Amino acid sequence: MSWDSLLLIIEICDLTQEKAEKIIPVIGYPDYVTNEEDPTMDEEYESYEVTQSEYFKNVIRIQIESSKNLLMILDDTVDRNQWLTSPATVNAFYSATRNQISFPAAILQPPFYDEAQPSSMNYGGIGMVIGHEITHGFDDMGSDYNGDGDLEKWWSAESRRNFEQKSECIERQYGDYFWPEANQKLNGKLTLGENIADNGGIRQAYKAYEKWRSVNGEDLKLPGLENFSEDQLFFLNNAQIWCSLVRPQFAATAVATNSHSPGLFRVIGALSNFEKFGEAYNCKRGLDKMYPNKNDSCRVW
């Protein structure tokens, strides 16, 4: 860890820990979904009128009722435990205004998570996603909100400057990546928050896996890949979860509008900044792009 990183962490340690401890996790699905005696869903939709023969009017009526419901809670105290997405969504989220992380049931599936696969792969998969969402609380946008979800400048000016300097390293790194499918370089500024979260997420997931190993000992082997070490499987599944195929037209639009880097560079960027990857795959420091010299890599958290 660099001296600047250490100073940054020491200065805001207490407030950062307080915010982290206040993060509210919502996992799987709301309890009322499977509880027939809970009236929540009936009450939520009792004012909705839907008919089989009027699709367009149904859409309009649903939008009207949804807008009314939002207006009704405008002056209410924020419910930080409220679900903000469907359990069927294959994604995960961080809400800065609620300081909430959510992991719908749909993402708690292979390859992100599988009870039967080695823990190394679960930590490299869903573990990284969890670390990613937590890190959002301390990225370029989440860091503007305190542990209660209120907009507040809770870092000192010096801490903010140190953070921004380290963030600039990430911005430059990703902005230099050329994506052949889009025939252009990435937008390091647009994707900064997500890239910070990816880099912090993989480190936190690995740290959690190390803790798991210290308690549980040797991990399972993966049939067919018995020669892969636990660390190699950790990073292998982390790469697998971001595999994708895209058309050039989509790629060009994604570079211009998507706050996430393409899957390929989510892997290359974060792992090339994390020395444990280079060690796991016996890369040669300074001679391999995935294992650069410490001065050539970036780190915020």
The pLDDT tens digits for 165-221 are 999 999 999 999 999 999 999 999 999 999 999 999 999 999 999 999 999 999 999
Assess if residue 139 is contained within a domain.
yes
Q: Give the tens place of pLDDT for each residue, 39-88.
A: 988 888 888 999 999 999 999 999 999 999 889 888 888 889 999 999 99
C-alpha to C-alpha distances, 74 to 42, 45, 68, 79, 146, nearest whole angstrom: 21, 19, 10, 11, 21
Q: Give the tens place of pLDDT for each residue, 250-282.
A: 999 999 999 999 999 999 999 999 999 999 999
The DSSP code sequence of 47-114 is T----TT-HHHHHHHHHHHHHHHHHHTTTSPP-TT---S-TT-S--EEETTTTEEEEEGGGSSTTT--
The catalytic site residues sit at 133, 198
Number of structural domains found in the chain: 1
Any idea which residue has 């000016």 for tokens? 157
Q: Which residues, including other chains, have CB under 8 Å from residue 75's CB and lie 6 or more apart?
A: none
Assess if residue 69 is contained within a domain.
no
Residue span of the structural domain in which 9 resides: 3-29+83-296
Q: What pLDDT was estimated at residue 1?
A: 55
Per DSSP bridges, beta strands 100-104 and 24-28 are parallel
Assess if residue 35 is contained within a domain.
no
Assess if residue 104 is contained within a domain.
yes
Distance, in Å, from the CA atom of 238 to the CA atom of 198, rounded to the nearest integer, reads 11
Residues 187, 291 contacting (CB under 8 angstroms): no
Q: What is the CATH number of the domain that holds 185?
A: 3.40.390.10
Residue 116 has pLDDT above 60, yes or no: yes
